[in-house]
Structure 1
Amino acid sequence: MNKHKDIIIIGGGAAGFFAAINIAEQHPELSVAILERGKEGLQKVKISGGGRCNVTHAEFIPSELVLNYPRGEKELLGPFHSFMTGDTIAWFEDRGVELKIEEDGRMFPVSNSSQTIINCFLNEAQKYNVEILYNHSVKSIKTRENDFSIETSQGILDCNKLLVATGSNPKIWKLLEDIGHTIVQPVPSLFTFDITDKRIKDIPGVVAKDVEIKVINTNLVSEGPLLITHVGMSAPAILKLSAFGAIELAELKYNFEIEINFTRLDVETCLEQLKDFKLGFAKKAIINSPQFDLPKRLWKQLILASNINEVERWADINKQQLESLASQLTKAKFSVTGKSTFKEEFVTAGGVDLKDVNFKTFESKRIPNLYFAGEVINVDAVTGGFNFQNAWTGAYIVSQNINR
């Protein structure tokens, strides 16, 4: 005979545990089980934020928070009015986990360890008798008149209500497609740019604090810090472009040109300032007097790229060299030849079509009593704790509605 549970959650990650705990806490009479395909769950939680777990982001206005979601911006506005960053903070604090805000708005446990979040989930799951079934890889999902039948690698389980919280999982997407859902084909969303260019070849680790980047021949623009890496460029300015341009950049097969403004000034204003520096710093070597708050090593490379040699003083350079420098500072072009995964945080655009989901309840519009939470749906965010906030919000709303 098949084992029966009131509620089964496929996916032992952040959204799955969060939903399970909230359901079991409110309805101890219900049997709740999490199916996890591996021998341990919460692996994405473990590695997130460099092992510190970037729980959420200190943005407390729903209309501002949604701007960080290239896909899902419109759909998440209502849900964020129901469960928001402040609610996330309170939820963890009520369970003994204090969070802290870093300078860039990211929020982490005070312990600086993702294990704190994992321990919290495991303890709460045990407290409320949530059954965690490890090594239960799902092979099929069958819908019946009043319930579901889930075939796993360990046997068959039945349930009255089903929550899918598997994140970006092509195998589960295929099973959902088989029972009638539309799946938006996944493409990478958070990635760094591969660039081979002599201006950045020898300066990995250098950070320009505030740049503007455009993808040439598109409407894609972003701003923020830029990091030179061993293989190209990263940091928020690049990651925002990769998220908001996920589909467009995939269509370009990750071969395109970007234009970087290192000064955030237009070329004419930049040129006027350079002329002022020429007068003010006349006897100084240009290479030794970086301007516009640029790191010295980056400044040096832009100087050399402007046909100015290492010994030339401000007084020595001609109009053409000044114009060339203004162009390097405000319109530097770089060729992108590929992408690399951002740390271990592989995020995709794609998943269950947003039109298939009722965002008041996170229930399927196609199949009653089937719910979704987290990145299994076609929602993704820029880096900084926003993907987790989507998971917490969806999971909480599911927990409020799944038992009504």
Structure 2
Amino acid sequence: MLKIGVIGAGAAGYFAAINAATKNTSVTIFEKTSKSLAKVKVSGGGRCNVTHAAFEIAKLVKNYPRGEKFLKKTFKHFAVGDTVNWFESRGVKLKREADGRMFPVSDDSESIIQALVNEANQNGVYVRYNFSIDKIEYSNNQFTVYSKENREIFDRLIICIGGSPKLTGFKFIHDLGHKVSDPIPSLFTFNTPYESIRELMGISLPDSHIKLEGTKLAYQGPLLITHWGLSGPAVLKLSAFGAPWLYDQKYNAKAHIRWNTLWTEHDLQINIGKYKSEHPKKKIKSNPLFGLPGRLWEHLVEKSEIDPLLLWHEISKKNLNKLIQNLFCYIVSIEGKTTFKEEFVTAGGVKLEEVNPETMESNLFPGLFFAGEVLDIDGITGGFNFQAAWSTGYLAGINSIKTKSDV
């Protein structure tokens, strides 16, 4: 019987184990903590954002700041449609939300957890908790896995330990002989400790554009002002694509915000001019324009150095230009970051040139496989990291049971 070890009881680990489990295999998952599928449980506020309704591979891969070319080959074998079919065939119906995110109809991550646990149990997968890996040795086409007190030998090994904030989290992989890209944070919010905009916490804009000054890095989408700075999908996606640049800048940068993506500078000038001529005696501060929240409008008026009692017919050209500037290109200083809830994601991991994207097998050690965030792959928020976990886990699982003649 083929002995297969899976390191990590997360989404990728469970999916790999399930797909490796047959009547001719013995599959054991090793988890360093006392809990499995912890990230699945908290994802999407406890609802579990299973995947994203990007059914075309060409569109799907565009949501991965790192790993796009690699995943293009991976997704040919298992993509969004396959994920949906897998869960629905096991009684977990999924629904699509307006922004493309997909959740279980139950709105409860427990539905996803139970589907995975039940499938693993039915296939005889064994889970060992509180088993922390110290070292792996490869000899005679077998893998010896060491913890502080135990030693286990396997014919195949699948590593699914997820991301790590420090390189030391990948030590046993590096010591085995694989190269690992330094981990850096991805998916984080921007801190603006010295900006008055923080006083507007709780205000959200449905479709804003945010750009990092001095770069081509930009994203658009919902924007949220918090007590520490800027958050929301637009910021989280920008942090993912801009992760290496922001890391190099030590998270000190300037961001340019256009509060509505549809605005142009010319349109703002025309519409303000028209409103000014039609309502010359209205107070500027008291009458928000362009559907902006009142508190934000008041802040922009104050930022433009416009007297709170000023009427529209009294505004100077200089102040009018400042107002248009703050509407179209509001500049804010970023100083630091904050991890986004429990949904911790890192850029970095096992270098992709050392892994076969069609099988997830190591190019250095036959019989060794990788899946999930342990690879130098990460997606933006919206279910993309889970999709990568399902896809890479599936391939690692099915290919771990193949012999050389099968490949």
Q: Answer whether TM exceeds 0.5 for this pair.
A: yes
Structure 2 counterpart of 1:360:
358
Q: Which runs of 4+ in 1 moved over 4 A?
A: none
Aligned residues of 1:5 and 1:157 also touching (Cα < 8 A): no
1:189-200, aligned counterparts within 5 Å?
189-200=186-197
Structure 2 counterpart of 1:255:
252
Amino acid at match of 2:391: T
What's the CA shift string for 1:124-146, capped at 9, x where partnerless? 11111101111111111101121
Aligned residues of 2:136 and 2:143 also touching (Cα < 8 A): yes
| Most deviating of 289-298 and 101-110 | 289-298
How many residues end up aligned between the 2 structures? 399
In structure 1, how many angstroms separate the alpha carbons of the residues matched to 2:286 and 2:58?
A: 45
In structure 1, how many angstroms separate the alpha carbons of the residues matched to 2:63 and 2:323?
A: 34
| Most deviating of 149-158 and 180-189 | 149-158
Instruction: State whether structure 2 residue 282 is matched by structure 1 residue 284.
Output: yes
What's the CA shift string for 1:243-282, capped at 9, x where partnerless? 0011110010001111111233343332222112212333
Structure 2 counterpart of 1:205:
202
Among 105, 108, 111, the alignment partner of 1:116 is 111
Among 195, 198, 218, the alignment partner of 2:215 is 218
Aligned residues of 1:136 and 1:152 also touching (Cα < 8 A): yes
Among 226, 246, 268, the alignment partner of 1:229 is 226
Secondary structure at 1:202's aligned position in 2? helix
1:52-201, aligned counterparts within 5 Å?
52-169=47-164, 170-201=167-198
Secondary structure at 1:364's aligned position in 2? coil
Provide structure 2 residue ranges, at least 5 long, that are not aligned to the other structure. 403-407
In structure 1, how many angstroms separate the alpha carbons of the residues matched to 2:96 and 2:133?
A: 38
Aligned residues of 2:141 and 2:366 also touching (Cα < 8 A): no
Amino acid at match of 2:374: V
Secondary structure at 2:172's aligned position in 1? helix
Aligned residues of 1:140 and 1:152 also touching (Cα < 8 A): yes
Among 269, 273, 276, the alignment partner of 1:275 is 273
Structure 1 counterpart of 2:20:
23
In structure 1, how many angstroms separate the alpha carbons of the residues matched to 2:224 and 2:163?
A: 27
Amino acid at match of 1:203: L
In structure 2, how many angstroms separate the alpha carbons of the residues matched to 1:224 and 1:123?
A: 38
Amino acid at match of 1:20: A
Among 341, 344, 347, the alignment partner of 2:345 is 347
In structure 2, how many angstroms separate the alpha carbons of the residues matched to 1:33 and 1:274?
A: 66
In structure 1, how many angstroms separate the alpha carbons of the residues matched to 2:69 and 2:285?
A: 48
Secondary structure at 2:398's aligned position in 1? helix
What's the CA shift string for 1:114-162, capped at 9, x where partnerless? 1221122211111111011111111111011211000124411111000
In structure 1, how many angstroms separate the alpha carbons of the residues matched to 2:195 and 2:283?
A: 22
Instruction: State whether structure 2 residue 318 is matched by structure 1 residue 320.
Output: yes
What's the CA shift string for 1:179-230, capped at 9, x where partnerless? 1111000000110000135541321110112121111112211111110001
In structure 1, how many angstroms separate the alpha carbons of the residues matched to 2:287 and 2:383?
A: 38
Q: CA deviation at 1:291?
A: 2.5
In structure 1, how many angstroms separate the alpha carbons of the residues matched to 2:309 and 2:398?
A: 69
Structure 2 counterpart of 1:334:
332
In structure 1, how many angstroms separate the alpha carbons of the residues matched to 2:321 and 2:241?
A: 33
Aligned residues of 1:199 and 1:302 also touching (Cα < 8 A): no
Q: CA deviation at 1:399?
A: 2.1
Instruction: State whether structure 2 residue 378 is matched by structure 1 residue 383.
Output: no
Aligned residues of 1:285 and 1:311 also touching (Cα < 8 A): yes
Aligned residues of 1:5 and 1:158 also touching (Cα < 8 A): no
What is the root-mean-square deviation of aligned Cα atoms in Å? 1.5
What's the CA shift string for 1:353-402, capped at 9, x where partnerless? 11111101111111111000000000001101100000000011122222
| Most deviating of 217-226 and 124-133 | 217-226
Provide structure 1 residue ranges, at least 5 long, that are not aligned to the other structure. none
Secondary structure at 2:173's aligned position in 1? helix
What's the CA shift string for 1:16-44, capped at 9, x where partnerless? 101111221xx222101100111121111
In structure 1, how many angstroms separate the alpha carbons of the residues matched to 2:5 and 2:174?
A: 19
Q: CA deviation at 1:171?
A: 4.3
Aligned residues of 1:135 and 1:153 also touching (Cα < 8 A): no
Among 30, 37, 46, the alignment partner of 1:35 is 30
Among 241, 248, 263, the alignment partner of 2:238 is 241
Secondary structure at 1:38's aligned position in 2? coil
Aligned residues of 1:141 and 1:151 also touching (Cα < 8 A): yes
Amino acid at match of 2:334: V
Aligned residues of 2:195 and 2:332 also touching (Cα < 8 A): no
Aligned residues of 2:195 and 2:333 also touching (Cα < 8 A): no
Structure 1 counterpart of 2:46:
51
In structure 1, how many angstroms separate the alpha carbons of the residues matched to 2:299 and 2:253?
A: 22
In structure 2, how many angstroms separate the alpha carbons of the residues matched to 1:350 and 1:388?
A: 16
Instruction: State whether structure 2 residue 3 is matched by structure 1 residue 13.
Output: no
In structure 2, how many angstroms separate the alpha carbons of the residues matched to 1:78 and 1:387?
A: 16
1:299-310, aligned counterparts within 5 Å?
299-310=297-308
TM-score (normalised: structure 2): 0.94
In structure 2, how many angstroms separate the alpha carbons of the residues matched to 1:171 and 1:134?
A: 21
In structure 2, how many angstroms separate the alpha carbons of the residues matched to 1:106 and 1:331?
A: 30
Secondary structure at 1:31's aligned position in 2? strand
In structure 1, how many angstroms separate the alpha carbons of the residues matched to 2:193 and 2:265?
A: 25
